[in-house]
Amino acid sequence: MNDWLGRVAPDLETIEQMALNTIAALPPKFAGPARGVIVRVEDFAPDEVLDDMEIENPFELTGIYDGIPLTEKSVMDVIDRPDMIWLFRRPILDEWAERGDVSLGQLVAHVMIHELAHHFGWSDEEIATIDRWWE
């Protein structure tokens, strides 16, 4: 029990590294393109994002993809910002503590894969081959 004395919650950089480790562990055909997505970790989603998504409780949003899915991109698109995945540390930590049945790294990977699915335009079947969350 005393093993937790003096410890602190993982910081933004630690969560970001877990997310980058998830990208590195992807099958090669996905890892390369996934490296082109910027990963940004904040404590909570910005108020304007929560308002746009009509989310009242900031603990309800663990991550979000901001970009145009690869399946919808065209050479004719005017790119006004890079593809980005936002992860929100406090909601992730809260869910991790509530669940108690997965490691923090597993949860970060699950959120990251879910957001990458938006980027790649993956079907549920494709997600299941990458993220064996239920096992």
Pairing of strands 38-42, 84-88: parallel
Q: Kindly report, residue by residue over 38-74, the tens digit of the pLDDT.
A: 999 999 999 999 999 999 999 999 999 998 887 877 7
Domains contained in the chain, CATH given: 8-130 (3.30.2010.20)
Rounded distance between C-alpha atoms, residue 26 and residue 7, angstroms? 31
Q: Kindly report, residue by residue over 92-102, the tens digit of the pLDDT.
A: 999 999 998 89
Rounded distance between C-alpha atoms, residue 109 and residue 26, angstroms? 10
What pTM value is reported for the model? 0.86
